[in-house]
Amino acid sequence: MNFKQRKEKIEGYLKTYASISNQEAQVLTGAHRNTLTHDFQKMLQAGLLLKSGRGKGTRYQLTGNVLFSAKILQPLWPRKRQGDLERYFKKSSRSAVFFERVAPQAFSASFAFEDHLVMALQRRQSDIERRRQALGEIERKRIKERLAIDLSWASARIEGSTYSLLETEALIKYQQTAHGKSLHEAQMILNHKLTLDYLRSSADYRKLSKHKVFALHQLLIQGLGVETGFRKHLVKISNSSLVPCDNEFQIASWFEKMLSVINACEQILAKAVAANLLLAFLQPFGDGNKRTARMLGNGILLAHGLLPVSFSRTPKEAYIKSVLTFYEKQDPSYFKFLFLNELNHSFLEYIG
């Protein structure tokens, strides 16, 4: 089988199954792993495929099946910038970054996307609705369940959960807790499922308010021994040199500023990104800030008829570095790049 024949086989498979790994392509074509690595590279360079994940978790999708093509995404985060970022985080120590000094830059950062990215999404919004309408009730339910499992697993994993994806599925579908795992982990996962159900119901997050943000936080931390309301003490952020604000009244003031910035965003994607980053940056709660920020971003997406993101295809280390880059450099670029990749995954997997 020559390259053209393997390419046709792979493209045919992707039109039905959406994504493929090198190992799956080996079974499909009978070709050696190294041959297929070369094939995938040629198809990537031709702009036919989009690559996600890394190592054994690397998968490929047709660019025609995604919201944002490889040609659009790849220039957003060049290899040089990734290299610079890796060197930055390899430093044995990084200078303290005080919230009060950098907050003005963080709250005035550019969360907006270029016009061609917004237009690429707008062109596919009709596809989202068309594909939703074509689904039967059983398939729609299956996809919603799948999203709940992926999102709950991925978000809890970022927060330190050791539950596997299969264990998360058993917990959500059959209420089976994993042997040897803490009840705290199980509760955290179930809280994510409960919060997603809330956002899918009558919750309207087109315009944010203090009450709406607090509602998400309370759902996510219930049963976990976390205090509600604004924190009254200094918190230390793991792996970060950011020193958060430690004054409750200043937190309340910056919280209102945060709501104003997010609500003023004209682009839906910018609004969701700002919610993800600014709430995590402010750290208004004693715990649960990043998971609340992720759910707040999804609430905005769902309220505007778009797909939520699970972050299940983003390596935990990459997500954390993208958030820390905003904390310490007030630069949202890396997070925006990962966010668009996750939207691509949502478009492929979660229309329902």
One domain for residues 55 and 116? no
299 CA to centre of own chain? 13
What single-letter amino acid sits at 260?
A: S
**Range 130-136, long-range pairs (CB < 8 A, 24+ positions):** 131/351, 132/351, 132/352, 135/351, 135/352
Residue 61 phi/psi, 5° resolution?
-130, 155
Tokens for 9, please give them.
């086989």
SS3 61: strand
List CB contacts of 340: < 8 A, sequence separation 6 or more.
Answer: 67, 68, 73, 76, 113, 117, 269
What single-letter amino acid sits at 313?
A: R
One domain for residues 283 and 181? yes
Measured distance between the N- and C-terminal CA atoms of the chain, rounded to whole angstroms: 37
Is the alpha carbon torsion for 79, 53, 293, 266 positive or negative?
Answer: positive
91-136: pLDDT as tens digits? 888 999 999 999 999 999 999 999 989 988 887 777 777 777 777 8
Q: How many domains does the chain have?
A: 2
Neighbours of 309 (CB within 10 A): 28
One domain for residues 17 and 118? no
Neighbours of 263 (CB within 10 A): 14
pLDDT at 298 over 80: yes
More confident residue, 98 or 48: 98
One domain for residues 28 and 91? no
Identify the CA nearest to 107 among candidates 227, 245, 236: 245
Computed over every residue of the chain, the mean pLDDT equals 92
Last residue of a domain, one of 65, 88, 113: 65
One domain for residues 244 and 195? yes
Domain assignment of residue 139, yes or no: yes
Identify the CA nearest to 302 among candidates 147, 114, 168, 155: 147
Domain assignment of residue 181, yes or no: yes
Domain assignment of residue 54, yes or no: yes
One domain for residues 166 and 289? yes
Domain assignment of residue 192, yes or no: yes
**How much is the pLDDT for 281?**
98
One domain for residues 43 and 133? no
CATH of the domain at 44: 1.10.10.10
CB 290 within 8 A of CB 323: yes
Percent of the chain with pLDDT over 90: 70
Domain assignment of residue 72, yes or no: no
One domain for residues 17 and 165? no
Domain assignment of residue 70, yes or no: no
Domain assignment of residue 71, yes or no: no
Q: The domain containing residue 255 runs over which residues? A: 78-349
CB 120 within 8 A of CB 67: yes
Domain assignment of residue 198, yes or no: yes
212-235: pLDDT as tens digits? 999 999 999 999 999 999 999 988
SS3 49: strand
Last residue of a domain, one of 42, 65, 88: 65
CATH of the domain at 84: 1.10.3290.10
One domain for residues 150 and 177? yes
Q: What is the pTM of this model?
A: 0.85
One domain for residues 134 and 44? no
One domain for residues 128 and 272? yes
pLDDT at 16 over 70: no
One domain for residues 93 and 162? yes
pLDDT at 65 over 70: no
Of 73-82, 163-172, 279-288, 308-317, the one with minimum mean pLDDT is: 73-82
CA–CA dist 167, 178 (Å, integer):
6
